[in-house]
Amino acid sequence: MEFPQFRRLSNGKSYYRIDSPTLMTEWVLVGSHCMGHRLEATILPERVLIGDLIENRDGLWEIITESEFQAVENRCMAAAGPTKSPQPDVGG
């Protein structure tokens, strides 16, 4: 399996970069604002979430290109300012 992989929630409000079976970045669009976080999956539910994203088990996500993800990330980073980037979430 090759990484990174990129997904978008079918409603277009969440974008994901999957770097490994235990590491991902998510950008959530809320109105004109963005929230980003980096998830390092350390507990089973987090690993299952990333596995579901990779396999698209529920058909909720669309495969997108790196450039599509990067466009959203760039827009969110520009809106947040130069010091804002997705913050790591530590599981457990």
pLDDT in tens, 17-39: 999 999 999 999 998 899 999 99
Q: What pLDDT is stored for residue 57 in this prediction? A: 82
pTM: predicted TM-score of the whole model, two decimal places:
0.84
Q: Single out the residue of 4, 3, 6, 2 nearest to residue 64, CA to CA.
A: 6
Q: What pLDDT is stored for residue 92 in this prediction? A: 46
Question: So where are the chain's domains?
Answer: 5-90
Which amino acid is it at 34? C
Contact 68, 6 (CB under 8 A): yes
Alpha-carbon distance of 34 to 76, in angstroms, equals 6
Side by side, the strands of the sheet bearing 23-30 are 61-63, 5-9, 14-20, 23-30, 33-40, 87-90
Residues of the chain under the 50 pLDDT cut: 92
Q: Single out the residue of 50, 32, 33 nearest to residue 41, CA to CA.
A: 50
